[in-house]
Amino acid sequence: MLFTEKLEEEYRDGYEAGEKNARISIIRNALSEKGPLTPQLEEYLENANIPTLDTWLRFAFEAGNCEMFLQKIGK
């Protein structure tokens, strides 16, 4: 692998990690006002991919509490 290809790959990986962390942070903030976040919920967030988190963002704002959110995401 060329040096520039390696840099591009690292940049892409860093960008994706930042995007994922931003979505998780928004979901956490939205849900934290609706009840405590359980370790299991934190694990679901950490293991989700970006498209899934995009869907869950809407659910986090629609849910009345964390339990409803978990029901909406099928957990």
Tens digits of per-residue pLDDT, 35-75?
Answer: 999 999 999 999 999 999 999 999 999 999 999 999 999 98
Residue 40 amino acid letter = Q
Q: pTM higher than 0.75, yes or no?
A: yes
Q: How far apart are the first and last CA of the chain?
A: 41
Q: Residue 74: left (phi > 0), alpha (psi -120 to 50), or beta?
A: left
- pLDDT, residue 5, reads 85
What distance in Å separates the CA atoms of residue 24 and residue 4, rounded to the nearest whole number? 30
